[in-house]
Amino acid sequence: MISKVYISHSPADEEMALQLSRALWRVGLESYVALYNLSPAISLAERASFGLRNSECLVALLTVEGSTSPEVCQEIGLARGLDLLIIPLLEEGAKLPFLIEHLRPLVFREEKYADVVGLLIKTIRELSRLEWLKVTCPKCGEEMTQYLTPQEDVEEALAKCTFLETICSYCQNKIRLDARTFEPRL
User: What pLDDT was estimated at residue 87?
Assistant: 98
pLDDT in tens, 35-83: 556 677 888 888 899 999 999 999 999 999 999 999 999 999 999 999 9
Give residue 36's pLDDT. 57
pLDDT category of residue 106 using cuts at 50, 70 and 90 = very high
For residue 41, the model assigns a pLDDT of 84
Could you give the CA distance from residue 57 to residue 149 in angstroms, rounded to a whole number? Answer: 23
Q: Residues 6 or more apart from 127 whose CB is under 8 A from it?
A: 1, 2, 85
pTM (2 d.p.):
0.93
Q: Cα-flanking dihedrals φ and ψ of residue 155, to 5°?
A: -60, -40
Q: How many CA atoms lie within 13 A of 7 on its CB side?
A: 29
Size of the chain in residues: 186
User: How far is Cα 82 from Cα 118, in angstroms, rounded to an integer?
Assistant: 26
In this structure, the dihedral spanned by the alpha carbons of residues 152, 92, 74 and 54, taken in order and rounded to 10 degrees, is -10
The answer on pLDDT for 136 being more than 60 is yes
Using a pLDDT cut of 90, give the percent of the chain over it.
Answer: 88
Number of Cα atoms under 13 Å in the Cβ half of residue 165: 5
Q: What is the DSSP letter of 175?
A: E
CB 148 within 8 A of CB 130: yes
Instruction: Please write the tens of the pLDDT for every residue from 48-60.
Output: 999 999 999 999 9
Q: Are strands 4-8 and 30-32 parallel, antiparallel or unpaired?
A: parallel
In the beta sheet, which residues pair with residue 146? 133
Q: What is the dihedral of CA 79, 80, 82, 84, to 10 degrees?
A: 70
